[in-house]
Structure 1
Amino acid sequence: MKENYLIQQDNKLEPEHSSYESSKQLELFKEFLSNKTAIFGAAIMFITIITAIFAPVIAPYPYDYIDLPKMLTPPNNEHIFGTDDLGRDIFSRVVYGTRISLVVGFGVVALSLLIGLVLGVIAGYFGGRIDSIIMGITDIFGSLPVILLAIAIIAALGPNLINLIIAMALVSWSRYTRLIRAEFLSLREQEFIEATRVLGMSSFRTIFKHMLPNAMAPIIVLTTMEFPVAIISEASLSFLGLGAQPPTPSWGSIISGGRMYIVEAPWIIFFPGLLLAILVLAFNLFGDSLRDFLDPRLK
C-alpha cells in the first residue's frame, strides 16, 4: 500500500500536459535543425561514422598492403592521397584510421563520464565530508598536465589501444565530476527534490528519476566538447608511438611516419592532418550550437 501511494505521488511530480510538452519539444527540435552550423557539424560527424563502419568497402586497398615500387607516389588517379615510404595507400590508411579515432573518442568519453558521474553524484547529493574528499582528489587530478600524466600511465601499462583509452579516461574524468556535482548541488535545493524527500522516496529513485534527467543538458554539451579533445589527445599520443601499434593506422601515427618526408612527400601528413582538423571543427561547431540551444541564458 505504501509503495502504491509513493508511486501515485511520484507521478504527480511529472508534467500533466504530455501532449503540450511533446509539441513544444518538437518545435524546439525543428528550431535546432534550422541551425546551419549544427547541421554542418552533424553532417561531418555522420560521414565520419559511416566511413569508419564501411571502411573495408570504401578503402581501395588493405591498410597494410605494401607496394615498394610505388613508394612516395604523389596523389594520382590510382592513389588519390598518394602513398607513403612503404608504398601503402594513404587514402586507405586514413579511412581505416577513422575507426581508431572514433573508438578512442567514444571509449574515453564513456569511461570518463562513468567515473565522473559516480563521483559527481555522490559528492553533489550527499555532500559533507565525502564531498570534500572527492573534490580534493578531483582538484589534484585536474591540476596535473593531461598529456604528461597519460604518457606516464601508458608507460606503466604498455603502449596499446586499450591502455590508451584507460590512460586518457583517468586524466579526463575530473571535468565531468565538477560539472555533475555543481548541477546536483543546485538541484537538491529545488522544491520538487524536497517533495521527494517528504514523500519518503529512496535516494536512488530521487537521483536517477528526478535529478539526473534535469542535469542531462550540460552533461550532453560537455560530452560533445570532450570528444574532439579525446581525438586530438589520441592523435598526439599516437604521434609519439603510444597509441595503436603498427601496422594498425591512426591519423597520429600516419603523420608521425610522414614527418621525415615532409619536404619530398608532404601529402603523407597533409591529408590526415586536414581530416583531423575538419572532424575536430565539426564537433566544436556542433557542441557550440548545442550549448547555445540548451542554455536558456543565451537565448
Structure 2
Amino acid sequence: MTDVTQTSSSRGTPFHIPMWSDANWIVRIALLVGLALIVVALAAPLIAPFDPNDQSLISRLRPPLGFERYKDGFFLGTDELGRDILSRCIYGLRLTFALALAGSIIGLLIGGTLGLLAGIAGGVLEDLVMGMVDIQIAIPFTLIALLILAVMGSSLDVMILVLGVYGWEQYARIVRAEVKKLIQMPFVEAAQAAGATPLRIAFRHILPNVVSPIVVQFTLNFSNIVILESTLSFLGLGVQPPTATLGSMVGIGRDYLPTAPWIVLVPAAAILLLTFAVQILGDWLRDKADVRLRTR
C-alpha cells in the first residue's frame, strides 16, 4: 500500500510532463523562449500591429515607449523610413527562422547522407567525398555564397540553396568518423555475421548512435546560418528590401546606431534569444538522444 502511494505521488499532477520535469531551470527557460519565438513567428499576421512595409516619413526614427518623441502605437520605435520596428521584427523572425531551419535541414541531408555512404562503402567513394569536404573547407564559404548569388541572383529560392550548402561538410566529417568507429564495434560485426544487409545495419545499428553528434552540429549550424544570413544581408546580397529579416534589419540599422540604436538592438536581441534557445535545447536533446547515456 505504501509503495503504491509513493509511486502515485511521484508522478505529480495529472498535467505532469516528463520532458519538462526532467529539464533543469535553464533548459526550461530556453524551452519557453523557443516556444514563444515559434508562436510569434507562426502568428505574425495576427499579432503584428502594423504592416511591416508601411512607411511614414513623418514618423521616422521615433524612439521606443518611455522615451521622448515616442509615438503612440510604435512600442519599439520606428526605423529610418518610419516603419514599425516591432512589426518588422515579428515578420523578420518568421523569415529568419524559416531560412535557418530550411538551410540546416538541407545541409544535414546532404552531409549526413554523403558521410554515411563514405563511412560504410569506403574505397573510392570515401576518397571522393572526403576530397569534396577538403575543397569545401579550403575555400571560405562567403566567397562561394557571393559567387552563387552573383550568378543566380538574390531570390529567396537561391538564398535557401546557399544556406543549405553551408555546413554540409561538417555533417559529412562527423558522420563519416562516427560510422568508421561504429562499424568496428562488436554489435555491428554481430549483425553482419547474422546476415543483416548494409541498409539495415546503417539504419538499425549505426544511425541511432550518430544522432547525438548530429544534434549538436545541427544547433551549431542553425546559429551559424542565422549569422551568415545577417552577413549576406549586410553586404546587400541577402533577402532584398523591403522584405525584413533580422539580419537585414541589423545590417541596415548600423548606419543609425549612434542616433537610433533601437533599430539595431531590437533585432539583435531577437537573434540572441533565438540562438540561445537553439543552443541550450540542442545540448539538452543531445544528452536525451545519446543511446550510450540512456543505457547507463
**TM-score, length of structure 2 as denominator length:** 0.84
* Counterpart check, 1:34 vs 2:23: yes
Within 5 Å, give how 1:102-117 maps onto structure 2. Answer: 102-117=97-112
Between the aligned partners of 1:42 and 1:239, the Cα distance in structure 2 is: 30
Within 5 Å, give how 1:148-159 maps onto structure 2. Answer: 148-159=143-154
Between the aligned partners of 2:74 and 2:140, the Cα distance in structure 1 is: 40
**Preserved CA contact (<8 Å) 1:32 1:293:** no
Report the counterpart of residue 196 of structure 2 in structure 1. Answer: 201
Which residue identity is paired with 1:61? F
RMSD between aligned alpha carbons?
A: 2.1
**Preserved CA contact (<8 Å) 1:59 1:95:** yes
Between the aligned partners of 1:110 and 1:292, the Cα distance in structure 2 is: 20
Report the counterpart of residue 6 of structure 1 in structure 2. Answer: none
Report the counterpart of residue 56 of structure 1 in structure 2. Answer: 45
Report the counterpart of residue 244 of structure 2 in structure 1. Answer: 249
Within 5 Å, give how 1:145-294 maps onto structure 2. Answer: 145-291=140-286
Which residue identity is paired with 1:70? S
Which residue identity is paired with 2:37? T
Which residue identity is paired with 1:263? P
Within 5 Å, give how 1:129-148 maps onto structure 2. Answer: 129-148=124-143
The percentage of counterpart residues that share the same residue type is 37
Which residue identity is paired with 1:228? S
What do residues 15-72 of structure 1 show as CA deviations (whole Å, max 9, x unaligned)? xxxxxxxxxxxxxx65983322222222222111111100011110011111222111
Q: Report the Cα offset of residue 94 of structure 1.
A: 0.4
Report the counterpart of residue 25 of structure 1 in structure 2. Answer: none
Q: Give the 3 Å change call, closer, same or farther, for CA 206–288 of structure 1 in structure 2.
A: closer
Between the aligned partners of 1:166 and 1:204, the Cα distance in structure 2 is: 29
What do residues 106-153 of structure 1 show as CA deviations (whole Å, max 9, x unaligned)? 111111001112110111011122212211111110222122322222
Greater RCO, 1 or 2 (C-alpha within 8 Å, sep 6+):
1
Which residue identity is paired with 1:237? L
Q: Report the Cα offset of residue 294 of structure 1.
A: 5.7
Runs of 5+ unmatched residues, structure 2: 1-17, 66-71
